Chains A and B, each alone.
Chain A
């Protein structure tokens, strides 16, 4: 997948990635590039038709620094606002918003809700590691209850945010949740999400080995152990995180509706 990365920039070599060893964000980037590669080869979409937009955070570092696509590194939480603008200027664009949980759930929560409500043609990939990794491992809205972070040394007392339920209520048309320990399923879901005409949200539970003070391999084991497929409904599997495809519906898309109005009233 190195053909899609900028190995060298104006100031010398850009790779290796700036992320810590075993970070889930790098894995999600790899999965995304596999999905994008599949779409470029199968659907006949050009590289120029894709745009990557990201906010601020560990996951946001990946797009404009390393990707050889059109990309924008924007304000914290405002990636979806910039994506809306990009789509209004060029509705044919396939916009992929690469964001983290602090970006999309905390500071950019409102933009996220309204992007889903408007059903803009955007693919939202959320790398959810359950804390603010870049600033030092503080508690985030997505931190599960009882987890120790730097600001909750005795365990988190707050309930966590279920982003998939939020997206479904707000009106996104494709919603899926996977973990970094499910590579093939994640690639399949991201491919579906990019092909979907409408707001598509894929949440990828990822590991932060540095702030959780666990080895990456052990964290991947825990992710596999603590999640259960949406298809299984046994009593013993309650309390685990549910993963799978939650929703795949069709609703009129926002820019298409605008185009309809333009066609109706233009002379």
Chain B
């Protein structure tokens, strides 16, 4: 399963990543953080296809997707 890393210090909660995620592996958090932003959180990372589009479209360099190599080899 691919891993989602979000840097809460860099993210400003614009949610462009959530909009661009076609398999809907991430979603917006219900809670607002201490800086007043709705950060994206994992919804179901099993659905993540590893396209890294969320990483590309992030304006604040806050997202990193760690691709699970072992899972890919099995396929």
B-binding residues in A (CB < 8 A): 1-2, 5, 15-17, 19-27, 29-31, 34, 180, 183-184, 187, 209, 216-217, 220
Contacts and interface: CB of A to CB of B under 8 A. Distances in A.
B16 interface: yes
Interface string B44-75: 00000000010011111110000000000000
Contact of B14 (A22, A29, A187): A22
**B interface, how many residues as a size bin?**
10 to 19
Contacts, number: 65
Contacts of B13: 21
A20 to B, nearest CB: 8
A30 B60 CA distance: 8
Interface of B: 9-16, 19-20, 37, 53, 56-62
Contacts of A29: 59
B7 to A, nearest CB: 8
Given A22-B16, A217-B16, A17 B60 contact: yes
Report whether over half of chain B's contact residues are helix, strand or loop; otherwise say mixed: loop
B9 to A, nearest CB: 6
A55 to B, nearest CB: 20
Given A30-B56, A31-B56, A183-B56, A2 B19 contact: no
A27 B57 contact: yes
A19 B56 contact: no
A15 B7 CA distance: 11
A29 B58 CA distance: 10
B56 A21 contact: no
A20 B57 CA distance: 15
A16 B9 contact: yes
